[in-house]
Amino acid sequence: MRLLATIASILVLIGALNWGLIGFFNYDLFGHFFSGQALRIVQDLVGISAVLAILGFLGLKK
């Protein structure tokens, strides 16, 4: 479970950095490396990781 939490944290950080790049520079790092269905899968993984991180912050995940 610790490995899953570590991977989720890394994906959340990468996702946050991507949103910062989009906001400040109008540059989508994920869109640069991925396209189509692969981009959607990466975005889904980042979203699921964010949910896991929120559950961890709330203490609902062990």
Domains of the chain, residue spans: 2-58
Under the banding of pLDDT at 50, 70 and 90, the label for residue 59 is confident
Q: Is the pLDDT of residue 7 over 60?
A: yes
pLDDT tens column, 11-47 = 999 999 999 999 999 999 999 999 999 999 999 999 9
Residues 14 and 6 sit within 8 Å (Cβ to Cβ): no
Under the banding of pLDDT at 50, 70 and 90, the label for residue 62 is low
Residues 18 and 28 sit within 8 Å (Cβ to Cβ): yes
Element of type H or E holding 60: none
- Which tokens hold the place of 4? 């899953």
Q: Residue 18 and residue 50: Cα distance in Å, rounded?
A: 14
DSSP letter (8 states) at residue 14: H
Under the banding of pLDDT at 50, 70 and 90, the label for residue 56 is confident
